Structure 1
Amino acid sequence: MKQYFFYVLYTADGYFYGGFTDDVARRFATHVKRQGAKFTRVKSRHPLQLVFSQAFDSKSEALHAEAVFKRLTRAKKEVFLAENGVSATIWQK
């Protein structure tokens, strides 16, 4: 069964970017090469850090997780990440 992933990047200018893919490493490499989403192509956003990923059994579940994350406030995104084992030191620089 093919898996899909929801992932979160942290940008050099302090933003969280949520996305979905069927291959996290490949998608992250695309973002790093500035060939991914328009949001991550901006020079000031680099370097990027992959801070979280979660596997799902269906594309719709991964898309739903991405949509829910994108609707969260900054504070709630931080809570979500902390509750899922991401160290707050990443965004508290």
Structure 2
Amino acid sequence: MTKQNDKTNYTYILQCADGTFYCGWTNDLAKRHAAHNAGTASKYTAPRRPVEIVYTEQFATKQEAMSREYQIKQLTRQEKIDLIRNGPPNMKISLS
């Protein structure tokens, strides 16, 4: 019997102080954000602090979040900017 995961998993994009982006996944967004800003979460973000969360997506499983992280990491910088501004193509909401 498999244990059901009761935590939400997140794929996130950070904007670093130098303007670059970092993508990762976690099941505790606030804790991971604090760790990035403390310089303990990533060798990439440690010298580029402070970092700000600019985008998140939620998933039921770790595997889904990790898969989405990989997909986002394959995007160009402009595609990441578009994702941050507009969300994923299938998640656009019309307000009209």
TM category (shorter chain) comes to 0.7 to 0.9
Partner of 2:45: 40
Deviation at 1:20, TM superposition (A): 0.3
| Aligned residues with identical type, % of pairs | 36
Partner of 2:25: 20
CA distance in 1, matches of 2:34, 2:49: 12
Listed as ranges, the gaps of 5+ residues in structure 2 are 1-5, 89-96
Partner of 1:9: 14
- Count residues in correspondence: 83
Please provide the CA RMSD for this pair. 1.3
TM-score of the two chains, using structure 2 as the length reference: 0.81
Deviations 1:39-75 (A, max 9, x none): 0111xx1221111111100001100111011110001
Q: Does 1:56 align with 2:59?
A: yes
CA distance in 2, matches of 1:23, 1:58: 13
TM-score of the two chains, using structure 1 as the length reference: 0.84
Listed as ranges, the gaps of 5+ residues in structure 1 are 86-93
Q: After the TM superposition, which parts of structure 1 deviate over 6 Å for at least 4 consecutive aligned residues?
A: none
Partner of 1:84: 87
Larger C-alpha radius of gyration, 1 or 2? 2
Deviation at 1:28, TM superposition (A): 0.4
What SS does the corresponding residue of 2:78 show, helix, strand or coil?
helix
What SS does the corresponding residue of 2:45 show, helix, strand or coil?
helix
Q: Which amino acid in structure 2 is aligned with residue 49 of structure 1?
A: E
Greater share of helix: 1
